[in-house]
Amino acid sequence: MLPMLEKRRTLAGVMSWIGLGILVAFILIAVLAPIIAPYPAVGPNSQFLTPPNPLCGACAPPSFSHWMGTDNLGQDVLTRVLWGAQTSLEVMAIGVILALAVGFPVGLYSGYVGGSIDKTILLVMDSVYAFPGLLLAALVAAMLGKGPFNIGIAITVIYIPLYYRVTRNQTLSVREETYVEAARSLGARPWTIMWLYIGYNVLITIPVIFALSAADAILTAAGLSYLGLGIQLPTPDWGLDLSVAQQFLTDGVWWTSFFPGLMIILLTVGLSFLGEGLNDLINPLLKKGRA
Amino acid sequence: MGYVHALDDISLDVASGESIGIVGETGSGKSTLGKAVLEILPPRTEVKGSLFFRGEELGQLDKARIRHIRGEEIALIFQDPMTRLNPLMTIEDHFIETIKAHQRVSRHEALARAEAALASMRVPESRIGNYPHEFSGGMRQRIMIALALVLNPSLLVADEPTTSLDVIVEAQILEILEDLKRTYKMSLLLITHNLGIVAEVCDRVAVFYAGKIVEVGSVDDIFTRPVHPYTRLLLQSIIHLDTKELHSIDGVPPDLLSPPTGCRFHPRCPYAQAVCQEKIPPLEQFRKDQLAACHFGKDFL
């Protein structure tokens, strides 16, 4: 996927590179958080440094020692934001990878066999898809309990129908390709035809939707945490920190909500750029490949 | 809409080592016949009748057995080589997949056979690791043929194997097919609208019109003493070096959703009489091994 980005200095290529850069930066932040974070993630870091604020406990505006200020518990916002990347990426990765791992094979099978099996699966998936995403995730999260892994699964449930739909529709078109008929005429096994001849050719359209759904998953995860259904305190999490910070926002304490929010926006935009950029790059390539 | 009877009342036999040509206009059901032989017609296609291959009735066999017959005993070469190979698989992968789908052999042995098959098609074996898009159309068709022949099938169905190729490649491929016929006693069902190829390669020929066989016989008989008016007009339309004027058959092939009554060729036939509109002519024998479906066949002898 990546070598072809180099050759194309188009808007799509630039977008993909920016998106990829942002994603890699966030992955680095998440991995290096234990090393680069200036303070411990949990627990007050500032109460001995600044006098308590009557409005919001131990919070303090951005300063030289706390670049992004501290929150009501006196925790360094920069540290929380850096550690929060870990939680967000973890939830996103679990959610999106599981959704792909389920949605892709089911979509492939459904599209390949067709008939009443296909119609039944399609009906089930469409009813799940029609359900509002955040509500569904909230429902599943409430059932499973808190913690990054459970939230990941809750998010998976929303995105399985998405991956299923994309895979199935693509399978329906690849199934009619003449090389599939040729493989059949040579006596290829159904399993081989499904995975090697169809699946492989469907898979190349997945990175686009992978990036786009990852962006969406970050927002959903933040939303769940914000609603108190996701990650539990004191685990650093952007959505959760936003939700705590919200009550002090009216008193002019902007920094505790601004920075986690900025992170959510940055990562989401980065992933969207990557997805849209890849979409523009892959589509013409696909068309060229078919011609 | 409705049902299209792409083929109607077709009966053919192919002896071992024999090659039979299927000729006819576009839409006369030639390719459908080829796909029917391998049972790879699209879903919701209804096939009636029976097809015997070495004493086994293909329609009665289970799917696993049919799958084994495909490729290993009956192989098919398609007319459009450009899109018949998986763009994401190398040529090597295509061969290994095909061989391993039928026989338990080591990768090493499969590779050796693939290289031999490619060499016999004059494709350099050094290119076995390349992807389909790295080959020209003629090369891809040779690769497809090598792929179809790597398991030494006893019947090869070739559906316009040279249509999209230039004449030099065409000549090479026909030569290769004749070699194979001689060496392996392979039977060949050659579907084409190129009568020149049929004359060169085939022993017998069946002329298709609108999903029906109108005439069948030896290449000699059909080309020199055709009985059916359609065959005659078809032969007249061949272009020779000394052709001064182009002959064509007036009209267009009929819509198979509602084929003409009686003889399907009657709307275009210069000799058509009232009976041709009413009665379907049966396939009758006019000479030894030469059958035609025409009410007035005797008059054309």
List for chain A the helix, strand, coil content (%; round to 5): 75, 0, 25
Query: Which position has the token pair 């020692």?
Result: A65
% of chain A with per-residue pLDDT over 70: 87
Q: What's chain A's Rg over C-alpha atoms? A: 23
Rounded to whole angstroms, the Cα distance separating B43 from B45 reads 5
Which among B225, B156, B165 has a CA at the least distance from the CA of B194? Answer: B165
| Residue A2: predicted pLDDT | 47
pLDDT of residue A283: 64
How do residues B127-174 score in pLDDT, each as one tens digit? 999 989 889 888 888 899 899 989 989 999 998 888 777 888 888 888
Give residue-wise pLDDT tens across range A128-177: 988 888 888 888 888 888 778 888 898 898 899 999 999 999 999 999 88
Q: pLDDT: is B32 or A76 the higher one?
A: B32
Q: How far is CA B49 from the centre of its chain?
A: 19
Three-state SS for A158-205 is HHHHHHHHHHHHHHHHHHCCHHHHHHHHCCCCHHHHHHHHHHHHHHCC
What are the chain A neighbours of B144 within 8 Å (beta carbons)? 182
Q: Over the stretch B240-288, which tens digit does the pLDDT of each residue have?
A: 788 788 888 888 888 888 888 889 898 888 888 888 888 889 888 888 8
Is A219:A35 a contact under the CB 8 Å cutoff? no
Mean pLDDT of chain A: 82
Mean pLDDT value across residues B181-206: 88
Residue B106: what residue type? S
Q: If you average pLDDT over residues B11-36, what whole number do you get?
A: 87
Q: Measured between beta carbons, which residues in chain B are less than 8 angstroms from residue A290?
A: 83
Residue pLDDT, tens place only, A83-123: 888 888 888 889 889 999 999 999 999 999 988 999 999 99
- Residue A171: predicted pLDDT: 94
pLDDT band at B95 (very low <50, low <70, confident <90, very high): very high
Q: Please state the rounded mean pLDDT for residues A190-211.
A: 87
The minimum CA-CA distance between B44 and chain A, rounded to whole Å, is 11
Beta carbons of A186 and B101 less than 8 Å apart: yes
Q: Is A1 on the interface with B (CB under 8 A)?
A: no
Helix (H) or strand (E) holding B159: strand B155-159
Residues of A in contact with B85 (CB under 8 A): 179, 182
Q: What does the pLDDT read at residue A291?
A: 40
What pLDDT does residue A132 have? 87
Q: For A113, name the nearest residue in chain B, comparing CA atoms only.
A: B43
Contact check, Cβ <8 Å, A200/B86: yes
Beta bridge partners of B291: B216, B285
**A10-27 confidence digits (pLDDT tens):** 777 788 889 899 999 989
Q: Which of A178, A196, A290 sits opposite B97 (nearest CB)?
A: A196
Q: Is A192 on the interface with B (CB under 8 A)?
A: yes
For an interface test with B, give the residue of A186, A192, A201, A203 to mutate (most B CBs within 10 A): A186
Beta carbons of B229 and B294 less than 8 angstroms apart: yes
CB contact under 8 A, B67 and A182: no
User: Rounded to an integer, what is the distance from CA A11 to the centroid of its chain?
Assistant: 23
- CA B162 to chain A, closest CA, distance in angstroms equals 16
Q: Please, what is the average pLDDT of chain B?
A: 87
Consecutive H or E run containing A124: helix A115-130
pTM: 0.79
Q: Nearest C-alpha of chain B: how many angstroms from A1?
A: 13
Instruction: Give the model's confidence band at A290: pLDDT under 50 very low, under 70 low, under 90 confident, else very high.
Output: very low
CA angle B267, B273, B276 (to 5 degrees): 65
Question: Which domains are assigned to chain A?
Answer: 2-290 (1.10.3720.10)
pLDDT in tens, A235-279: 888 888 888 877 777 777 788 888 888 988 898 888 888 888 887
